[in-house]
Structure 1
Amino acid sequence: MTKEKLLLIGNGMAGVRTIEEILDRDAERYELTIIGEESYPNYNRIMLSNVLQNKMTVEEIITNPMQWYEENQIELIHHDPAVDLQPEAKKVITQSGREVHYDKCIIATGSRSFILPVEGSKLEGVIGFRTIDDTLDMLNRAKTYKKAAVIGGGLLGLEAAKGLVDQGMDVTVIHLEKWLMETQLNEKAGELLRADLEKQGLQFLMEKRTVRILGETRVTGLEFSDGSQIEADMVVMAVGIRPETALARQAGLAVNRGIVVNDWMETSAPGVYAVGECAEHAGKVYGLVAPLFEQGKVLADFLTERETAPYAGSTTYTSLKVSGCDLFSAGIIRESEGIRSIEAYDGLANSYKKLFVQDNNVIGIVLYGDTSEENRYFKMLKQKQDISALTSVSLLSSGGCGGAAGAADNDVTQWADDETVCGCNGVTKGTILTAVREKGLTSVAEVTKVTKAGGSCGKCKGMIGDLLAYVLGDKASTAPTGICGCTDLSRDQIVVQIHEKGLTTSQEVYRELGFRNPEGCPKCRPAINFYLNVAFPKEHADEVASRFVNERLHANIQNDGTFSVIPRMRGGQTTPEQLMKIAKVAEKYDVPLVKVTGSQRIGLYGVKKEDLPKMWEELDMTSAQAYAKAVRSVKTCVGAAFCRFGTQDSMSLGIKLEERFEFIDTPHKFKMGVSACPRSCAESAVKDFGVIGVENGFQIYIGGNGGTEVREAQLLTTVATEQEVIDICGAMLQYYRETGVYAERTAPWLIRMGFQHVKDLLLDVSKRAELLQRLDEAVEGKRVNPWKKAVDSKQLQRELYTVGRG
């Protein structure tokens, strides 16, 4: 049987989701072809702001890689947009002149950034914010230019502005209206949002209309209708989007604001359909994800001849995180005749809520700061619940519907099947339950893979877990999908949300990300503390209580309950004075064992806990942090100064490396070795960062680990100078800090990240410089002075008291 040819014009989120739905219903029905304008496979456009803010890479937002097209036998024609649609001939011509014939065609061309038609809008430096290329262009320009102007105070503009601030630019947002996000927020919530964003470094010019972009060949500034001007090296247009309808208009299809479709997503041309931001249904064009996916499901049912209800429009809402600020908006949010409102503002929590009521029904909702009750209020709006029996206080209070009813709103198992669990991907409770039952899913990860629920921000993973337990009981997988049993969120999802929400304490992380244990657990507490240290090194105060006891006591606990005390000896080199101090302390405190360690230091073993503060005070030496997830030590051979085989001064380089990077926290212990010749007496080939001296310089090896699973380090490169060695080491440390999973050694990290990827990054001089700059900023003021003792004896006494009570 010959398959019908189904052509999709547009490789974006709505169109490809429709194809996914068709494949799920009947994978053998159509011969599939997709035409895309961009050079990338299908990606999550919602996550572009994360790429702009360096929280995610382009690779991480790819939803369907090239392999997906191949596995599903889909012909992808990308970077070659359709320019001519001929419905009568049932063919499409691409920009390159290629003809594609079809039996049925879906138009999902989405929308484009609206560029204000003002003088200067075509100057170099004027950019939209809609695609990966737009985002990469902005990141590239931010390296050279310092002043950015973002025209538009909606969601897109604010995300672009925050991303450019994070790139170190001086950013001003210009907005025509009185308050930000006026479509989604009322004035009070808009003011709160502005205040929060100003704290993050954004500047605002409100009620300003741009009349001219200044500059000869490239932008130099903006001029406003009141005659005032500002300087700018870059102008980002974020004043809205416009449905991309040019192809449909050319083909003679009925087009108003969007391509007109009926309840089955059919256009005015037989065999041609439209979904997504380019489609207009019942006079409405939708720009949010959930409605677009709902359209795709209806069209997939229709094209696979399944009985289904026609598309009746969508009840839209906005549940967003704008640069770390939570907000929720739905329905009619303006007062008028017959529409009353009730509001509450909590100045301490900086949260605000306002409900709009008509005829005893909630018809509009605005929540800012605390959005925990969005499900409760949205259910009232959608179901048109009669609220006449509720007082203003009970309506605004948590669980105000009364006991069990209030609790049910937060219990996903009690929701109706058509309620949305994953707002990012438009996945309902019913869809998840059906997938679990029909496909035998037993874990959150499996649900995410099949339905995409939880695949974006991850906020809904806890609810997915609740649904699994509800359906499967004990058969549900209890293996933690997250970093520990307190959460189903992965390391990446937690780090992204730490940045998005601006979380600077562990308690904020536990509360805002819905950890099951509001205090965390021994597994996640040190991990969260580390991620916060890396994300916000200046804003986050290191939480000593979250560190392992060994780190708090500056000593390793031994199997008999005593401790080891190991002072730092950089590069394994010591002095008679240090040796005498160690000997005197060992004798005075009757230390059972004094031993040279495998890292070329002298360890005192069997130390009593109560002796630790006095011993450190009398040693007056820095701790070697032999207990820490940090840069531990640099093992060296004696080198060219003494050894007849040595080609380089390994001892000197080892000491320089240790002095440069000591006390820097890393996901796991980080050990280095510097050998003066290929005999590698310092065992450089099994170190996280290994250096071997050769006649023409230094060979650098990375990702080696000893221990229970020995892994040989891989040769990264050969360099001529010590400074190159130090710089590459610092860049690797920072990249490992930024991308490593807590308690992950460099060997598995290198496998996970890809050796070639890490190599390309570290050998790129400009990227290496960026990593070094971030490392210096991160450890500024936190690196302990190496010539002063690293242990405060009074603080250590307090820690001992705390540990003893615990």
Structure 2
Amino acid sequence: MTSEQQRVVVIGGGLAGLRLAARLGARDGARTEVTVLGEESHVPYNRVLLAEVLAGRYAPEVTALPDPGPALRRGVRAVRVDRADRTVHCDDGSTEQYDALVLATGSNAVLPPLRGLFEPMGRELPDGVHAFRTMDDCLALTAAVAAGSGVRAVVIGGGLLGVSAARALAERGAQVVLAQQGERLMERQLDADASALLHAHLTTLGIEIHTGCRVRGLTTKARGAGGRRVTGVEFADGYRLDADVVVLACGVRPRTGLALAAGLDVRTGIVVDDRLRTSDPRIHAIGDCAEHAGRVYGLAGPALEQADALAEQLGATTGGAAPGYTGTRALTRLTLGTAAGTATAPGGPGPLDLAAFGETTPLPGDDVVRLADATRRTYRKVVVRGDRLVGGVLLGELSTVGALARSWEDAESLTDLFHLLTDDGGS
């Protein structure tokens, strides 16, 4: 490295961290030396595709991200940031010095306070209990449902993650129960009508769904070599359900431990400004761990946009200012396939595509337009405020989602809403 090179250290080998490294290498390879510290030993992978791996649609290697080359140090965990010396200390005893440090530490699965989840003073999950966040989680779940026919699986959590996991387990042939504490599935993204359609679709896949249902604890038994194995779940009303596998899909929480220990400003996530700087201007944060303008996105699209914006910022340090990051208008998309054996059954359910964006719950004075086709099992709803599209939900047919999303993202004045809503509008 020459004295004129900028040393950039990225903590986190996921989608955001590797996108940033690739952008910096392509743009400023001669002026920037990038080191990425990746905690996982796996080849970097696209976390968005884990449900497809669990469902058996993709092999794990299909999820691999582009090879980052020697910039990535795999299986190395950053344990401390020394801001005074501008040094990152790693669990293998090595150190990395930086001119700019980027925290792309992502998020952790939320482990709910369930009775029986941990033993006193213990932190080991019982055998058969899994989060669904990493490739290791995915591979462990795959092995669990492949161990025999008729595996009984309970998924706790009916958000995007829980719905994806339940569908994938059903495709693997498991007997799946989905327990959601809220009143409806995917309540953060879908309105009541869309959620009801999703509920009906999952039921046709053989998934048993309980909403408004809180899980109080787990039942376990000792196993021969020590430790415990899950045997079931217990609901708040006292009802008990046998289970061979329990999936904790109760959301995620930004990983902020390094930032807190380093004295950075942390709220829900690591607070950043429009240049994606933390309270220390030499340290930046992007992706699931970052909080910009009071919002933590937790989605791939915003993480990639933040990585691109930061690459422009860091690349402009010697050549003028780059435009700042002003936020992302995120769209959620999900495809729910068919359970094992149903794809070829006459009249069996086909895949269900869904998309949601913006504000799907109208405010007083908003206009709402709905188009529903019971025969085709399609549903479209948009929320209009004045002459602007502010949100929408589509299920079953997404041919118009591109046109609607562009109108929403660009805050265009609406001239022909029906054209946008119909198939012709999405062409």
Is 2:296 the counterpart of 1:285? yes
Deviation per CA, 1:217-238, whole angstroms, max 9, x where unpaired?
2211111112222111111111
Is 2:187 the counterpart of 1:191? no
SS of alignment partner, residue 218 of structure 2: strand
Measure the CA separation in 2 of the matches of 1:175 and 1:240.
Answer: 12
Measure the CA separation in 2 of the matches of 1:102 and 1:28.
Answer: 16
What residue in structure 2 maps to residue 124 of structure 1? 127
Q: More strand by proportion, 1 or 2?
A: 2
Deviation per CA, 1:563-619, whole angstroms, max 9, x where unpaired?
xxxxxxxxxxxxxxxxxxxxxxxxxxxxxxxxxxxxxxxxxxxxxxxxxxxxxxxxx
What residue in structure 1 maps to residue 336 of structure 2? 322
Measure the CA separation in 1 of the matches of 2:190 and 2:135.
Answer: 28
User: Contact 1:171/1:202 (CA < 8 Å) preserved in 2?
Assistant: yes
User: Contact 1:155/1:322 (CA < 8 Å) preserved in 2?
Assistant: no
Percent identity of equivalent pairs: 35
Is 2:110 the counterpart of 1:107? no
Measure the CA separation in 1 of the matches of 2:357 and 2:256.
Answer: 27
User: Contact 2:400/2:421 (CA < 8 Å) preserved in 1?
Assistant: no
Deviation at 1:125, TM superposition (A): 1.9
Measure the CA separation in 2 of the matches of 1:187 and 1:303.
Answer: 44
Q: Which one of 13, 16, 19 corresponds to residue 11 of structure 1?
A: 13
Deviation at 1:340, TM superposition (A): 2.9
Deviation per CA, 1:721-750, whole angstroms, max 9, x where unpaired?
xxxxxxxxxxxxxxxxxxxxxxxxxxxxxx
Deviation at 1:395, TM superposition (A): 6.1
User: Contact 2:17/2:36 (CA < 8 Å) preserved in 1?
Assistant: no
Superposition pairs of residues 517-536 of structure 1, within 5 angstroms: none
Q: Which one of 91, 97, 108 corresponds to residue 95 of structure 1?
A: 91
Is 2:148 the counterpart of 1:139? no
Is 2:182 the counterpart of 1:171? no
Measure the CA separation in 2 of the matches of 1:322 and 1:176.
Answer: 21
Is 2:392 the counterpart of 1:365? yes
Measure the CA separation in 1 of the matches of 2:420 and 2:400.
Answer: 11
TM-score scaled to structure 2, two decimals? 0.88
Is 2:223 the counterpart of 1:212? no
What residue in structure 1 maps to residue 32 of structure 2? 30
Deviation at 1:261, TM superposition (A): 0.7
Deviation at 1:163, TM superposition (A): 2.0
The unaligned stretches of length 5 or more in structure 1 are 400-405, 411-806
Q: Which one of 51, 75, 78 corresponds to residue 53 of structure 2?
A: 51
Measure the CA separation in 1 of the matches of 2:281 and 2:92.
Answer: 26
Deviation at 1:108, TM superposition (A): 0.2
Is 2:382 the counterpart of 1:380? no
Q: Which one of 250, 255, 262 corresponds to residue 273 of structure 2?
A: 262
Deviation at 1:379, TM superposition (A): 2.6
Closer/same/farther in 2, CA of residues 153 and 101 from structure 1, 3 Å limit: same
Deviation at 1:393, TM superposition (A): 5.5
Q: Which one of 356, 359, 373 corresponds to residue 383 of structure 2?
A: 356
SS of alignment partner, residue 321 of structure 1: strand
Whichever residue aligns with residue 128 of structure 2, its letter is: G
Look at both structures and tell me which one has the larger radius of gyration over its CA atoms.
1
Measure the CA separation in 1 of the matches of 2:275 and 2:157.
Answer: 35
SS of alignment partner, residue 220 of structure 1: strand
User: Contact 1:263/1:312 (CA < 8 Å) preserved in 2?
Assistant: yes
Q: How many pairs align?
A: 394
Measure the CA separation in 1 of the matches of 2:259 and 2:175.
Answer: 41
What residue in structure 2 maps to residue 442 of structure 1? none
Superposition pairs of residues 580-729 of structure 1, within 5 angstroms: none
What residue in structure 2 maps to residue 237 of structure 1? 248
What residue in structure 1 maps to residue 76 of structure 2? 80
Deviation per CA, 1:370-400, whole angstroms, max 9, x where unpaired?
111012222332333334x65x76664344x
Whichever residue aligns with residue 311 of structure 1, its letter is: Y
Measure the CA separation in 1 of the matches of 2:173 and 2:184.
Answer: 25
SS of alignment partner, residue 142 of structure 2: helix
Is 2:60 the counterpart of 1:69? no
Measure the CA separation in 2 of the matches of 1:251 and 1:12.
Answer: 22
SS of alignment partner, residue 229 of structure 2: coil
Measure the CA separation in 1 of the matches of 2:418 and 2:22.
Answer: 46
Deviation per CA, 1:47-71, whole angstroms, max 9, x where unpaired?
1112111222222211133xx414x
Whichever residue aligns with residue 258 of structure 1, its letter is: G
Closer/same/farther in 2, CA of residues 100 and 343 from structure 1, 3 Å limit: same
Whichever residue aligns with residue 359 of structure 1, its letter is: G
Whichever residue aligns with residue 422 of structure 2, its letter is: S
Is 2:331 the counterpart of 1:331? no
Deviation at 1:211, TM superposition (A): 1.1
Whichever residue aligns with residue 310 of structure 1, its letter is: G
SS of alignment partner, residue 326 of structure 1: strand
User: Contact 2:265/2:271 (CA < 8 Å) preserved in 1?
Assistant: yes
Deviation per CA, 1:507-533, whole angstroms, max 9, x where unpaired?
xxxxxxxxxxxxxxxxxxxxxxxxxxx
The unaligned stretches of length 5 or more in structure 2 are 119-125, 222-227, 338-350
Measure the CA separation in 1 of the matches of 2:58 and 2:304.
Answer: 24
Superposition pairs of residues 553-572 of structure 1, within 5 angstroms: none
Deviation at 1:212, TM superposition (A): 0.9
Measure the CA separation in 2 of the matches of 1:56 and 1:382.
Answer: 32
Deviation at 1:99, TM superposition (A): 2.0
Measure the CA separation in 1 of the matches of 2:400 and 2:371.
Answer: 13
SS of alignment partner, residue 230 of structure 2: coil
Give the root-mean-square deviation of aligned CA atoms: 1.8
Is 2:207 the counterpart of 1:202? yes
Q: Which one of 262, 276, 281 corresponds to residue 287 of structure 2?
A: 276
Deviation at 1:364, TM superposition (A): 1.3
SS of alignment partner, residue 166 of structure 2: helix
Q: More helix by proportion, 1 or 2?
A: 1
Closer/same/farther in 2, CA of residues 23 and 377 from structure 1, 3 Å limit: same
Measure the CA separation in 2 of the matches of 1:100 and 1:355.
Answer: 50
Measure the CA separation in 1 of the matches of 2:418 and 2:313.
Answer: 47
User: Contact 1:41/1:64 (CA < 8 Å) preserved in 2?
Assistant: no
Measure the CA separation in 2 of the matches of 1:373 and 1:63.
Answer: 29
Deviation per CA, 1:423-468, whole angstroms, max 9, x where unpaired?
xxxxxxxxxxxxxxxxxxxxxxxxxxxxxxxxxxxxxxxxxxxxxx
Deviation per CA, 1:3-53, whole angstroms, max 9, x where unpaired?
332111000001110111111211122222211111013211111112111
What residue in structure 1 maps to residue 422 of structure 2? 397
